[in-house]
Amino acid sequence: MNDYYNAFEMSPVPVGPDAVAPEPFRGIYAMPAFVTIPTNDLAASVDFWTRGLGFIDLFTIPGTITHLRRWAFQDVLLVAAQTVPDKAPAISFSFSCVLNQVESIVEACRAIRPDSVDGPRDTPWNTRDVEVITPENARIIFTAAKPYDPDSEEARNLAAVGITPPSDNGEHA
């Protein structure tokens, strides 16, 4: 017995093999979480995040801050700074995407900064991930759920930690 339950209905992340990504969300809300990234070239950073990673410029206070967004609850604040790290830190920040977005993110980022992308790679927990190092040396991961195969190694990995697929009635097996 485990304490996990199906709560996908509360997530803005679409699921399933034919999932379609939602449009960028333009509403104003109290953000439950966001990442703040310093940049010494706000214009170049905004360009990379919008053209490469698919974010929108929700609003900008010129020379100070740009609030970027993709889906609901995927918020990034780019803030003007004098210095940024010389290399990407060990910590990363992950954003959900859908499988059919992975290759376009890779291509768009490589077109802007050829050495910015590592992957994509499949994970033991049934996702396909791509790592991107942004102009401000932030380590960003885009992660997409792969179709669930109950006979796969990934399904066995999840079952080993008590995560089982929902049954037809929404209960976990």
- Separation between Cα atoms, residue 75 and residue 68, nearest integer Å: 6
Beta-strand relationship, 35-39 and 75-80: parallel
Rounded Cα distance between 18 and 172, Å, is 22
- The mean pLDDT value for 119-129 works out to 92
The β-bridge partners of 39 are: 80
Give the predicted TM-score (pTM) of the model. Answer: 0.85
Q: How sure is the predictor about 84, in pLDDT bands with cuts at 50, 70 and 90?
A: confident
| 8 A C-beta contact, residue 32 and residue 72 | no
Spans of all domains in the chain: 32-160
* Averaged pLDDT score across all residues of the chain: 88
Highest mean pLDDT, choosing among 17-26, 97-106, 144-153: 97-106
User: What tens digit of pLDDT does each residue of 29-45 get?
Assistant: 988 899 999 999 999 99
**Of the listed ranges 3-12, 54-63, 72-81, the one predicted with least confidence:** 3-12
Range 32-160 classified under CATH 3.10.180.10: yes
Closest CA to 146 of 107, 113, 98, 104: 98
H or E element, residue 139: strand 139-145
**pLDDT band per the 50, 70, 90 thresholds, residue 10:** confident
Q: Which DSSP state fits 172? A: B
Percent share of the chain, pLDDT over 90: 60
Report the SS3 class of residue 98.
coil
